[in-house]
Amino acid sequence: MNDVTAMPQSAVVVGGTSELAFAVLGELARRRLRSVLLTGRDLDALERAAARLRDLGVATVTTAAHDVCGVDGAPALAAAARSQLGQVDLVLVAAGVLGSSALDALDARGVARTLTTNFTGPAALIAELASVLRAQGTGRIVVLSSVAAVRARRANFVYGSSKAGLDAFCQGLGDALAGSGVAVVVVRPGFVRTAMTAALPSQPLAARPADVGRAVVAGLARGDETIWVPGVLRAVFAVLRIVPRAVWRRLPQ
Ligand SMILES: NC(=O)c1ccc[n+]([C@@H]2O[C@H](COP(=O)([O-])OP(=O)(O)OC[C@H]3O[C@@H](n4cnc5c(N)ncnc54)[C@H](OP(=O)(O)O)[C@@H]3O)[C@@H](O)[C@H]2O)c1
C-alpha cells in the first residue's frame, strides 16, 4: 500500500539488475519501500542487486527468473507478483538492450531481438501486470522509455523505434486506464552512463543514474505522467521533433 506521502511500499521490477532501476529503488528505499520482487535473466546478478537493496533497508527482496522475450511466461510472473507482494504499488519496467543499428550488421534476428526485448516483451508483460493493478484499483506502472522514442536517429533507429513503440503503448494504456486508480508513467532519459552505454561516447546533457532516481521519485510525488531526465530535454525535443528531416539526418548523432 502507498504510504501517507503516496510513495510505493511494494514493487515488482522488470529488468531487476538495471542500474537505472536500482537508482529509482534506492530513492524509494529512503522513503518507505518495504517489499520488492526483482525479475530478470541472471539470477546471480539479481541476488547481488537484492543484497544491495537489503543494505539500503528494504525489508523483503525476492528474485524470480523472467526473460521478457518469453511472452508466455508473463501471466505467471504477474501472478507471482500478486502472491508475493500482496498489493503491488509499483511496476518498474527497465528491461532493455541497445542492440545495433549499423547497416552492415543489420539482420533479421538482431532486429527482432531488440524489438522484442524493448517493446513486444515489456508491452505483453505490462498488459498482464496492468490487470493485477486494475483488480486492486490502485498502482503505478513506471516505464523507462527514452528520448530516442521521440524521434529515431540514424545512429540508433532500431533502438529508437522499439522505444517509440513502447512509449506509445504506455501513453495509450495510461489513457485507457484513466479513472481506474492505475497510472502509467513514461520516463524519457537522455544519455546516462550505465552498463548499457559503457561503450558509447558521452552526449550533451548527459545525466547520472542518481539523477534519474531523483527525477522519477519527484515525478511520482507530483503525479507526472511523463518524466524527462534532465527536465530541459522536454524543451529540446519539442524543437528537435519538428526539425525537417533533411536537417535532422545531418545533425551529429
Ligand atoms: N542508460 C541510458 O543512457 C538510457 C537512456 C534512456 C533510456 N534507458 C533505458 O533504461 C532502461 C535501463 O537501462 P540501464 O541504463 O539501467 O541499462 P542496464 O543496466 O544495462 O539495464 C538493462 C536491463 O535490461 C535487462 N534485460 C535485457 N534483456 C532482457 C531480457 N530479455 N529479459 C529481461 N531483462 C532483460 C538487463 O538484464 P540482464 O542482466 O539480464 O542483461 C538489465 O537489467 C532500459 O530500458 C534503457 O533502454 C537507458
pLDDT in tens, 195-207: 999 999 989 899 9
| Integer Rg of the chain from CA | 17
Q: How does the average pLDDT of the chain come out, rounded?
A: 96
How many other CB atoms sit within 10 Å of the CB of residue 72?
7
- pLDDT tier at 179 (50, 70, 90 boundaries)? very high
pLDDT at 4: 52
d(CA 16, CA 209): 15
CATH classification of 10-248 is 2.40.50.140, yes or no? no
pLDDT at 253: 77
Distance 15 CA to ligand 1 centre (A): 6
CB 156 less than 6 A from any atom of ligand 1: no
Q: Tell me: the pLDDT tens digits for 35-57?
A: 999 999 999 999 999 999 999 99
CB 193 less than 6 A from any atom of ligand 1: no
Of 19 and 6, more confident:
19
Catalytic residue (choose from 119, 159, 169, 228): 159
Q: Tell me: the pLDDT tens digits for 47-90?
A: 999 999 999 999 999 999 999 999 999 999 999 999 999 999 99
Nearest residue (by CA) to ligand 1, atom 44, is 96
Nearest residue (by CA) to ligand 1, atom 2, is 192
CB 15 less than 6 A from any atom of ligand 1: yes
Please confirm, yes or no, whether 159 is among the known catalytic residues: yes
Contact 170, 143 (CB under 8 A): yes
Q: What b/e readout covers 28-40, taking b as 16+ CB neighbours within 10 angstroms?
A: bbeebbbbbbbbb
Contact 106, 156 (CB under 8 A): no
- pLDDT tier at 229 (50, 70, 90 boundaries)? very high
d(CA 114, CA 27): 29
Q: Which runs of consecutive H residues, i.e. helices, occur in the chain?
A: 19-29, 43-55, 74-85, 108-115, 121-136, 157-176, 209-222, 233-240, 245-248
pTM of this structure: 0.97
Q: What nine digits make up the cell of 197? A: 552505454
Q: Which atom of ligand 1 is nearest to the CA of 41?
A: 40
CB 197 less than 6 A from any atom of ligand 1: yes
